[in-house]
A and B are shown apart, each in its own frame.
Chain A
């Protein structure tokens, strides 16, 4: 049995068939009208019944920010915690309760700025968490300052002369942080979003899903180039495991490896180079090609943005290892006996 299947069997199954309604809480959703978060919420609520897990064994943990209100709207267990700390809190929960399916909802500011440390360490440990990173490239809840994914030179309230910060590419960052599962999707593409969630849910260990999400108040249209049908054809590279990486009108463009540098490049597909078009291997042991793919996107124009699962590899899951050590300790030393431990080695007795 693979680790994936084993981990999923630890979470109890729902007794009866579930519907999207089962996952809606009684709380009024308070995002701005038109916010991309609505689409993600609907996609998650719609996808949950597919997992068939007992909803009392599902927990959503969030930090602070617009997206972090998410748990309130899910009729599961949930915690809306403090800024940036959701991965840490979720780590404690997931490592102590392997019968839970633990999801983290975070944003670009929450995960990559104040909580950057926790994110990278959760990824390297490979704790069994599903992290949904809503990236709108802006601070929404604090009303419009630039974020760690905002483009260089961005004019915002806190950067009237333009931002001086070079942005993070969350996918590159995650791959660099030893993530075992990294994907990117877009709020408005429900089908793609759901498919990515499905794969993330199946993944044993930490799954990071970057969701490009529109903030229609402070950064409207940030991902328009990826959504507008015509422009998206040139801008979006849809990755599918085992398929040649081609995009553009009729797959006219493709990704090849530059034999001189080993780096990837986008080329117009010709009969001569067609055989050289890279076939996407999400399960490649080495992260090198996934990283190179993540670098194809232009941070300013978003041209050549790969979406889909960039990397999905199996490696030991922290929670499992921790649990195994507990079992191993019992095997080696027997179940702990309090009186024996307290007595230790050197004792003496005082008689009355």
Chain B
């Protein structure tokens, strides 16, 4: 899933998820050709979906990350979906404690982490039980048989062993005693059984790396760096990893390995890396600060799934980045606003519950007209909700969750890599228009990853701003004065006069201000004017026009925002492949909407809006454009699956 999406027509064979789920095991990966290599058969595939699942303590996220890195460095396109419980260590072996990592990789441009895994790695009975429903018949399942003993099975309600009772007959099951093999492989290391057992995830990684011809140097290097202070543990993990690889190569049970060629032609030329949404966002913020030539100041309070941005930014102090972990969400944004007053590029990062606490300060920033980035990584709500799951239900909170008329621009990134560009765009708007800006990402983008073409520094936008340096107004008597609320006629932005500038001493505050002077004013007409002016400033923000993707002259338009970009685009490709014309457009700017949105909506007989909420964007569209937008909603904490979305869109089109 790259930011540059090639035309769907070029990928007529795009099967972004397993449309071929029910095929026999042999060709389930839409095998292109097969060949024999030595003893073992090597088949070429165009794409694969793997899911690693285990207990929260089994290291599945790390395993997934490593496989992803190997895959990225090999040059496949890829998309990932980490999925884990909110508890750090839920009770071992239970269904709520299952943590999984799904990775979709291909030799061509893909858009989602995939609907259904071709391969499930289940480290214990709970992982099997929690995930088997998503696995299509015919898929491969690698199970750690050591864990399929009476108690762990009983814990999740398996009365008989699913490995023996025929319930997995439709699948291609590889029973592997992962724990035993790992302990055996590490017996030279003099580790306790418990210590040795911990490396079983690396054994599994080694096995999968063999199955899919992944490069291994990166993982070995990674392990040695990670355990640099414990060389014995590092070597044990490397040994387990290699043992897993060798096991694949030598065991007859694994008769076939697979090649997925690099996705060279799907990518524009350039240098690439794999990047998660939160990392891209953090880089975007540092880059914005660099391009604006302003120091970056982050005020933040730890909250899932936003904390990684705080962690990342705090590692880059050599860029002059100040990170302040505040006592609460309110102080976090307060400190950011204070830093903005002082001339920093100020940011606060949070999630829905934190946004609720910050609302009053966002309102203050609206009326102070100071630049401020409010980065909200949405998660399931309301209240604490589902901290580690994704949702898009904070759109209306971002739009309207303040007292008074307090308009705030809203920008939503559409892929993990796009979080980088969106951060730059949010900074542009905040700095140009002197306003708080909402950057609405979500858990799916935050933790998911994809290849990213690293931009050349010359391609980056110029975000430099001018601070006020002298008087900007002449009184009737000819006196030159500084008016903090005298606006730029084009942007309606007020001057940014930072403390330390002689002669521009001024006071700003939350009380309504007189136009121009900024002095306290309770005048009714002035308040009316100021409310309308603040609104007009936001309404007048220049945002790029939308381009509709409609190769077939469709009658139905599907319109989404934010992280649904991948699944919607995959669903649209699927429909077109099946001969159903459908037009697609995706919103990145939600406040203000792009100028041509109304005209686009009017062009189509039907508008369908898929959202991971109960229809929040649809409400905005209906209110503003009087369009009969149809909602298609899912709020189960997971991203849309392409197949399901395609079916829903088809139904909407056919009605």
Contact = CB atoms under 8 A, between A and B. Distances in A.
A72 B335 contact: no
Nearest to A60: B507
B520 A72 contact: yes
A67 interface: no
Contact of B499 (A100, A336, A343): A100
A279 interface: no
A166 interface: no
A347 B317 contact: no
21 contacts: A56-B500, A56-B504, A72-B520, A74-B507, A75-B505, A79-B338, A80-B509, A80-B511, A91-B324, A91-B326, A93-B338, A99-B500, A326-B321, A332-B318, A335-B318, A338-B286, A338-B290, A341-B319, A349-B270, A349-B271, A350-B271
Interface stretch (B162-170, B248-256, B360-368, B526-534): B360-368
Contact of B316 (A56, A64, A93, A341): A341
A88 B520 contact: no
Given A88-B334, A117-B328, A338-B286, A343 B364 contact: no
A140 B346 CA distance: 34
- Shortest Cβ-Cβ A-B pairs, 10 listed: A92-B338, A80-B509, A88-B334, A92-B335, A336-B319, A329-B317, A88-B331, A93-B338, A78-B507, A89-B338
Interface string A316-328: 0000001001101
B370 to A, nearest CB: 10
Interface string B294-326: 010101000000000000000011111110101
B72 A92 contact: no
Nearest to B370: A79
Interface stretch (B88-96, B261-269, B585-593): B261-269
Given A80-B511, A85-B334, A326 B320 contact: yes
Interface in A293-344: 322, 325-326, 328-330, 332-336, 338-339, 341-344
Contacts of A326: 317-318, 320-322
A55 B368 CA distance: 21
Contacts of A349: 270-272
A82 B286 contact: no
B511 A95 contact: no
A218 B453 CA distance: 65
Given A82-B361, A339-B457, A347-B454, A97 B331 contact: no
B339 interface: yes
A332 B326 CA distance: 26
Interface in B460-518: 499-511
A96 B69 contact: no
Interface in B510-557: 510-511, 519-520
Contacts of B511: 80
Contacts of A77: 499, 505-507
Given A79-B338, A79-B341, A89-B334, 5 more contacts: A77-B507, A85-B361, A96-B322, A100-B499, A330-B317
Interface of A: 12, 25, 27, 54-59, 61, 64, 71-72, 74-82, 85, 87-97, 99-100, 117-118, 121, 322, 325-326, 328-330, 332-336, 338-339, 341-344, 346-352
B120 to A, nearest CB: 26
B507 A80 contact: yes
B272 A348 contact: yes
Listed residue (A74, A330, A333, A347) with the most chain B CB atoms within 10 angstroms of its CB: A347
B508 A95 contact: no
A100 B339 contact: no
B124 interface: no
Contacts of A74: 507
A332 B336 CA distance: 27
A343 B454 contact: yes
B505 A118 contact: no
A81 B510 contact: yes
Nearest to A349: B271
Contacts of B272: 347-350
A79 B73 CA distance: 51
Given A81-B510, A117-B327, A342-B455, A88 B318 contact: no
B349 interface: no
A141 to B, nearest CB: 12
Given A56-B502, A57-B499, A80-B511, A96 B457 contact: no
Interface in B588-621: none
A71 B507 contact: yes
B75 interface: yes
B342 interface: yes
Contacts of B503: 56
Given A97-B499, A326-B320, A338-B286, A80 B508 contact: yes
A117 B271 contact: no
A87 B299 CA distance: 13
B505 A55 contact: yes
B205 to A, nearest CB: 16
A93 B341 contact: yes
Listed residue (A88, A90, A121) with the most chain B CB atoms within 10 angstroms of its CB: A88
A350 B271 CA distance: 6
A94 B324 CA distance: 12
A350 B269 contact: yes
Listed residue (B272, B320, B335, B364) with the most chain A CB atoms within 10 angstroms of its CB: B335
B271 A347 contact: yes
Given A336-B319, A343-B271, A27 B519 contact: yes
B330 interface: yes
Listed residue (A12, A76, A342) with the most chain B CB atoms within 10 angstroms of its CB: A342
Nearest to B336: A92
B184 to A, nearest CB: 31
B343 interface: yes
A92 B299 contact: yes
A95 B290 contact: no
A198 to B, nearest CB: 22
Nearest to A25: B507
B509 A71 contact: yes
Nearest to B460: A338
A325 B318 CA distance: 9
